[in-house]
Structure 1
């Protein structure tokens, strides 16, 4: 039986076109070169239908002498690994990724029996999983050709196949800080040396020509060039319309791409078609960043195209109208959003997608921020006819989220002024009582007597706490209290300190909790909840359609079996939450869901729902809590878990 190191070595040797050094294999298996040489010797003795050649000054290379015998041996090794290492895909998500990867990397047809045997599951389970596989592939405009007695094979443009390959062949959940962290077995034909050459050429040209893409953009470009090399070797390449090609050739980025390609061609002995050069140029155009973010709004207008200006301002106006976040005039946000939108529109024009490795974290931890990104995408489509997916929406949301955090930092705690007529001592008593009661949530700006009030600046003061009546009309609220604060006094001050801050707990009602439901589809869940809410008079006609419209933009499943559906625009007369748990998990977009929290925000609401969203985020993140909530058999038990005393 092969151990883990020998399996890894065999995989590396199978993936490489040329010899691999023992130093590289040692690095991959995290042992010394001497141990690696011993492993290679032992592996060579176990192989059937193949042997490992040692090539002087170059390393080791796999020589397959009897293909059928060697394939039979690999199948036997695979079965052993499944039993000993549990490398078989277990969850539906793992199986789906596995099938997509197999289909993308297979030149010929794959039979259902083979997939069934690979994963040790029934054909009926495979057929059920394939529905989700088809749905995912459809997003890339890739079809699945099914032929009797042959099996399955993917069909689509080379461009779309490459996009999908870039997403699924590479494990983007793993952070890659440098080129050598992207493994050669994932490319199935490029050696460590070839990958290193591509990385070095690309970085040198980017730096020399002062193009400044983001770290993520650099990795995406690196992955693209590596995949392009692999597929050019097998005779595949991208096609771009001639008119677009001519337009791209006039850009500075085309010259940089041309130099990158010329060097890669020379070092790897490949010939890139012109379309490939243009495609790399589009990557550079699509990731262009400008570091001058200290421009004022007037300079920004001089710099930006008129259409970018208009759509940026339209997005910010719509976000402010819907969420009242107070970030409309954040200069950093205007610059950041505008500079991001220009290349985003470029990507759309040329049919590019961009991967966002943070998308699941953004959706799970910052649902309010993600919703602002959804609004931005709707404005972009309405104003410019540009449609973006949730990866791009996530990047827009990051800019908006940063502006929200900046405002929080500037905003700080509420600030109050204490007015007292009984002398300094009573004013100090009020001050210390408020400080002990509210701690960092309230800042006492100053204490003053009434006759000096007109001399005090009320700028940046949120409200006044006064122990005497104040007849004057002031621009800020006044809370009249007793010198010795009572419970009613504290409650009124608390209302002002936490004004508009709504928690999840304010909306948990037994009548809106539905447990252990038998539904098997997303549609059944949404229809059921809609009917219940309509019967209770909480929603009206059009609410269900708005739920589906929101799901069409980006599924509201956030992982951890949780979905938070909501209408694409606020439609109800009040803000409420509705909870539903299911007997079994169901498909919701590309994720599995068993806990549903339907959220509806009041039309034209000025409530600050950030704390409620944060609480929802904590629930989404807490695996054990979600499991306990799903297992709950009574509404009272469910609410006790959700709202602990």
Structure 2
């Protein structure tokens, strides 16, 4: 593993009993003195509650002191490795851009380009290229990267946007430590614990229920808000918006949270910040089907109708008779429109897992294009993935009638995921289910476990019960199914019929997705005498949401049917390209058949197993042979 500069500086300070100047360290490490001073500040933050400190003396330099030996030993044993060695691959443009963005967000003042180059170890010309991706990321939050001669670079924009960017870039509470969120904001874990305690107390007082995920994300936003307030960076709201929020049911809860935080943290919190907290409470509800008086207005129902119609038109999948889907989409749209209005974002911890269910994600991307067009916005993959949960359930209903079983599903990420699991169980264990109930972890600990034969949970739980407990992944993978039911039925049919040998291309050298898609669309159109417009339709679909799915794979497709039969063209690139944000080396161009819904079910089920298997993908890229490819994809 490669040592970080922080470790190198720490080692030099730790091995010497004398002061070492920043100039001396800068010479040894071939960086500027200012870079050394910034890194020493970071070391101070790392060890501030871990038994160590940096002693600085004007005119002499720095040295490291241990003030609490036991705390220091514990930190070095448990956490120091994550700071001491490089965790990121800076050969990737996306990783470098993320590191640059994090450094810019850490600093309120200008940062010189030389410092950024020192941080990552790149040239100024490379930095200039990477900043293009940084600016693109900032645009998602309505932020700009200001450049000032002789000063450097600084992020500017609305305070609310800066907070959202910090919270999302540095992660949720579950990943806060790995992302250094508590260090970035010059705080510690005691503050987050206090925030959690206050929020939970207020929620309990008002009987306010939400998912564990939403609770943790709210704590993150409160944490960021408090640290920004401490440096005199506060939210400013227009009078009408604040008045509207004050009339909402969530404002009373927001008021109590802010008042308690101000008292416990001994800081003055402006009135506008209560509106900020209220916005998060209003916009963070993902599924509200249990809310009393929740109404799906005619306007929202019309949007749902357009979404379902778009799916039917573009993908030949008819979900118009699924009343439960219409209700679920309508209820989901209520809080989503609040998030769009207040420009809030909601992270989805299951994003990568949901993307593995490619058919559902594609359907959701097509459907949510209606929302993007109507409200002139771009929904993140996180938001699209929440819709994909609903469509997954709906697609499952198309193939499997509902049934029942005495199972208690415990899910930490909310009702949507629990509902997805409900239908997965219905499909996989038809005939064995008598009743099915879903609850979150908080409800489990406060309620009674009655009339249950089996508890299935996506999180570790500790409850006193004689009922068997099985812990599974969030989306019930094959290993989980084997654990619950020892024998599985596998389809023996081949899907080679979808892959035309003439449309299998290997060692293709291109520099962009436009170039490869133009070539593949042209060859596909020529082979099957398709009507004109395939490339344009594929690019239009790409504009809805990029079709990169991880594992260096992209699955582009048109936004409507062009061929009578489903056919897939495969291209294995000689070198990976950046599709939108991720590297792609294996491209599946999928042309849906006009009347092949049942066949498509088989195609997605079998191909998905291949597409989520990194080892098989590596084999195909390393040895791009059609027969080998068919053998690998058909074994699933």
TM-score normalised to the size of structure 2?
A: 0.70
Is the Cα–Cα contact under 8 Å of residues 508 and 572 in structure 2 kept in the other structure? yes
Matched residue, 1:349:
341
Deviations 1:373-406 (A, max 9, x none): 1233133346676753322111011122123335
Look up the SS of the partner of 2:119 in the other structure. Answer: helix
Is the Cα–Cα contact under 8 Å of residues 534 and 562 in structure 2 kept in the other structure? yes
* Structure 1: gaps of 5 or more residues: 26-36, 61-79, 413-439, 444-496
Matched residue, 1:433:
none
Alignment of 1:154-169 (within 5 A): 154-169=155-170
**1:184–1:642 CA distance, 2 compared to 1 (3 A):** closer
- Choose from 253, 256, 269 the match for 2:253: 256
Instruction: Report the number of matched residues.
Output: 511
Matched residue, 1:401:
392
Matched residue, 2:497:
506
**1:136–1:611 CA distance, 2 compared to 1 (3 A):** farther
1:49 and 2:62 correspond: yes
**1:548–1:180 CA distance, 2 compared to 1 (3 A):** closer
- Choose from 193, 197, 204 the match for 2:194: 197
CA shift for structure 1 position 143: 2.1
Mapped partners of 1:547, 1:217: distance in 2: 35
**1:187–1:503 CA distance, 2 compared to 1 (3 A):** farther
Mapped partners of 2:208, 2:286: distance in 1: 8
Mapped partners of 1:208, 1:54: distance in 2: 41
1:85 and 2:89 correspond: no
CA shift for structure 1 position 560: 1.1
Mapped partners of 2:598, 2:490: distance in 1: 11
Deviations 1:504-541 (A, max 9, x none): 42211221011111101111111221222233344333
Alignment of 1:579-594 (within 5 A): 579-594=570-585
1:103 and 2:115 correspond: no
**1:399–1:442 CA distance, 2 compared to 1 (3 A):** closer
Mapped partners of 2:519, 2:97: distance in 1: 29
1:239 and 2:260 correspond: no
- Choose from 288, 297, 301 the match for 1:309: 301
**1:535–1:405 CA distance, 2 compared to 1 (3 A):** closer
1:546 and 2:537 correspond: yes
Is the Cα–Cα contact under 8 Å of residues 572 and 624 in structure 2 kept in the other structure? no
Matched residue, 2:135:
134
Mapped partners of 2:560, 2:270: distance in 1: 47
- Choose from 586, 607, 610 the match for 1:616: 607
Deviations 1:329-357 (A, max 9, x none): 55543443222110111111122121112
**1:312–1:531 CA distance, 2 compared to 1 (3 A):** closer
Look up the SS of the partner of 1:512 in the other structure. Answer: strand
Matched residue, 2:523:
532
Is the Cα–Cα contact under 8 Å of residues 316 and 594 in structure 2 kept in the other structure? no
Mapped partners of 1:316, 1:637: distance in 2: 39
CA shift for structure 1 position 257: 0.5
Mapped partners of 2:85, 2:43: distance in 1: 21
Is the Cα–Cα contact under 8 Å of residues 503 and 612 in structure 1 kept in the other structure? no
Matched residue, 1:431:
none
**1:513–1:53 CA distance, 2 compared to 1 (3 A):** closer
Mapped partners of 2:224, 2:627: distance in 1: 55
1:266 and 2:263 correspond: yes
CA shift for structure 1 position 205: 1.4
* Structure 2: gaps of 5 or more residues: 1-7, 16-39, 73-79, 404-427, 432-488
**1:355–1:291 CA distance, 2 compared to 1 (3 A):** closer
CA shift for structure 1 position 568: 2.2
Mapped partners of 2:124, 2:606: distance in 1: 42
Is the Cα–Cα contact under 8 Å of residues 516 and 581 in structure 1 kept in the other structure? yes
**1:441–1:248 CA distance, 2 compared to 1 (3 A):** closer
Is the Cα–Cα contact under 8 Å of residues 245 and 278 in structure 1 kept in the other structure? yes
TM-score normalised to the size of structure 1?
A: 0.69
Flag the structure with larger Rg: 1
RMSD of aligned residue pairs (Cα, Å) = 4.1
CA shift for structure 1 position 629: 1.5
Mapped partners of 1:138, 1:293: distance in 2: 36
Deviations 1:200-240 (A, max 9, x none): 11122122222222222222211111001111112212333
